[in-house]
Amino acid sequence: MGAEAAIRGENFVFTLRVDRYVAPQLTSGSDANWLHGAVELEISTVGSYRASQQVSPFASDLEAFRDELRALDRDLTGTATLAHLEGEFEVTIALESGKGTLSGYVREHIGPRLQFDEIKTDQTYVNAALKQFEALTAAFPVRGDPAA
């Protein structure tokens, strides 16, 4: 069963969908923690932009981002970054006293890139993203020692 989590801002949605572990038969080590899924980006301000990309995120990167979201939700100041190990997507949330911006990109491994910055966001969006990433990481936890 798959799971998804979204990062939102004004006229902005970045969605990460995960449907399975790449190697479900493995229970530990780096190869056991690669996930199969996709990202989708939708931005509409004056124009309308959309990108989607099949990706293989790493489970421990999702847990690290979830932990950064927890700190950001608690402190209302700082940054949280979700980045793909092979550079196919990145989203950074930066808050100062509960208000802030999103920046990042989605790109093919070799090819086009859709970049965004200065997308307005706030603590309400961060809290919603935290709840969704908590559910996503519960559905696809790190298995064993990912460094082994």
Give the residue from 97, 100, 99, 67 showing the smallest Cα distance to 82: 67
Q: What's the pTM?
A: 0.94
For residues 111 and 87, the answer to whether their CB atoms sit within 8 Å is no
Cα distance between residue 123 and residue 92, in whole Å: 14
Taken in order of first residue, the domains within the chain and their CATH numbers are: 3-139 (2.30.31)
Which residue type occupies 106? V
- DSSP string over 78-103: EEEEEE-TTSSEEEEEEEETTEEEEE
Cα distance between residue 98 and residue 141, in whole Å: 29
Q: How would you write the pLDDT of the chain (148 residues) with one tens digit per residue?
A: 799 999 999 999 999 999 999 999 999 988 999 999 999 999 998 889 999 999 999 999 999 999 999 999 999 999 999 999 888 999 999 999 999 999 999 998 888 999 999 999 999 999 999 999 999 999 999 998 877 7
For residues 132 and 4, the answer to whether their CB atoms sit within 8 Å is yes
